[in-house]
Amino acid sequence: MPERVVIIGSGPAGWAAAIYAARANLDPLVIEGMFGMSGGMVPLGQLYFTTEVENYPGFPFGVLSQFLDTALDDKEKQIAPPITDEKHAVTGPELMHLMRQQAKNFGTRVISDEVVEVDFDSKPLRVKPSDGDWIEAHSVIIATGARANYLGLESEEKFKNGGVSACAVCDGALPRFRNKPLVVIGGGDSAMEEATYLTKYAEKVYLVHRRDEFRASPIMAERVLNNPKIEPVWSHNVVEVLGSAEQGVTGVTVVGIKDGVTKELPASGMFLAIGHTPNTAFLGGKLDMNEAGYIRWTKPYRTNTSVDGVFAAGDVADDYYRQAITSAGTGCMAALDAERYLGDQGIH
């Protein structure tokens, strides 16, 4: 018997879709990914790579230990981060374990594997996990997210969660960045937005770009150039992130592309704004996507894609907002869209 709903991906979009689909008695199957999967991804989404999540509604700063202790089942507790009595906002891994548990509480089944191929020409639709047979489904929700592009430096890897970030809106307000100099890397619209946003908190923002003009739209670039707190560092590459385990990031080393001269910029944080890569390679171009590889929604305010019965939710279809709350929101929409689609097909 084909599944009614298969959900691929295990970030906020995937679990929100699963919670709604399970509560609609659709008995969803989530294929959540696995450790060691392609592209350096892990199950439980991008939030698994972060510490405090201060902007997800419902989780103010406080002592969460009792709630976590009672909400997670014994198996989940063994893999979840240690439950502490410290006052904190929810961490990314805690939030994701709670979402996963909530979906399982309503009967969601979970396979820890990566989908490597899809067949959307057939009806039922078919998806292929790396270690298993083709799975048939009447509807599929793709919630495989995106991953931020990094420079690929060893020192950058070392300071992720210690001052290196790919999301100013997520992390900019953290105390470690307040009233300190910061570095933003990039020259497109996102870099302009991130740099401008960070001036709310930072003492100063160095905007490092490898060219001698921005790629961004003129209006965004002008806003940046007129902002006295932003200093463009033209035609330079960051070659090392400086810092220590105790202090986190303390600066970056940049090299002039034209003159090869090296200098250090003091900074308590480095924000990457050099694009994201949506996790859509496994789709083999079977869905309509934009030029950057994000899945296109084909109906306004709906999560439908170019194939009937296939829906997309979260960052994989959103190159603009890229937040946990918006991903959870579109995950909910995708489950409701799938439920209505199945109803129209007479599948309950």
Contact 84, 62 (CB under 8 A): no
Query: Minimum distance between the CB of residue 317 and ligand FAD, rounded to whole angstroms?
Result: 8
Told to judge if 121 belongs to the known catalytic residues of this protein, a careful annotator would answer no
Region near ligand FAD per CB under 6 A, out of 7-15, 69-77, 101-109, 236-244:
7-15
Burial of 6 per CB tally in 10 Å (0-12, 13-18, 19+): buried
Least spacing, CB of residue 48 vs ligand FAD, in Å = 7
Q: Looking at 327, 333, 335, 342, which residue binds ligand FAD (CB under 6 A)? A: 327
Q: Which of 219, 224, 223 is nearest to 209 (CA)?
A: 224
- Residues in CB range of 325: below 8 A, 6 or more apart: 12, 55, 56, 57
Among 167, 173, 174, 257, binds ligand FAD (CB under 6 A): 167
Q: Out of 19, 166, 230, 249, which residue is the one contacting ligand FAD (CB under 6 A)?
A: 166
Which residue is catalytic, options 27, 119, 167, 308? 167
In the chain, the largest separation of any two C-alpha atoms, in whole Å, equals 68
Alpha-carbon distance 175 to 202, whole Å?
10
Listed residue (347, 331, 334) closest to 4, CA to CA:
347
Q: Which residues contact 55 (CB under 8 A, 6 or more apart)?
A: 169, 170, 323, 324, 325
Each residue 192-231 as x (binds ligand FAD by CB under 6 A) or -, in order, gives ----------------------------------------
Tell me how many residues contact ligand FAD (CB under 6 A). 42
Pick from 3, 5, 7, 10: which binds ligand FAD (CB under 6 A)?
10
Q: What is the rounded distance in angstroms from the CA atom of residue 117 to the CA atom of residue 136?
A: 12
**Which listed range, 117-125, 143-151, 209-217, 298-306, lies at the site for ligand FAD (CB under 6 A)?**
143-151
Query: Shortest approach of ligand FAD to residue 281 CB, angstroms?
Result: 8
CB-nearer residue toward ligand FAD: 140 or 224: 140
Strand pairing report for 125-129 and 262-266: unpaired
Q: Please pick, from the candidates 115, 125, 195, 208, the single residue that binds ligand FAD as defined by CB under 6 A.
A: 115
Beta bridge partners of 232: 207
Residue 332 is a catalytic residue: no
- Cα–Cα distance, 279 to 285 (Å, whole number): 12
Does 212 participate in catalysis according to the annotation?
no
Nearer to ligand FAD (CB atom), residue 131 or residue 264: 131
Contact 336, 3 (CB under 8 A): no
Give the number of other CB atoms < 10 A from CB of residue 155. 18
* Sole window of 165-173, 176-184, 266-274, 302-310 interacting with ligand FAD (rule: CB under 6 A): 165-173
347 near ligand FAD, judged by CB under 6 A: no
Minimum CB distance to ligand FAD smaller for 97 or for 322: 322
What secondary structure does DSSP assign to 266-285, as a single string? E-SEEEE-S-EEES-GGGTT
Show which residues are catalytic. 167, 170-171
* Binding-site ranges for ligand FAD (CB under 6 A): 8-14, 31-33, 41-47, 49-50, 53, 55-56, 114-115, 143-146, 148, 166-167, 170, 279, 282, 314-316, 322-325, 327
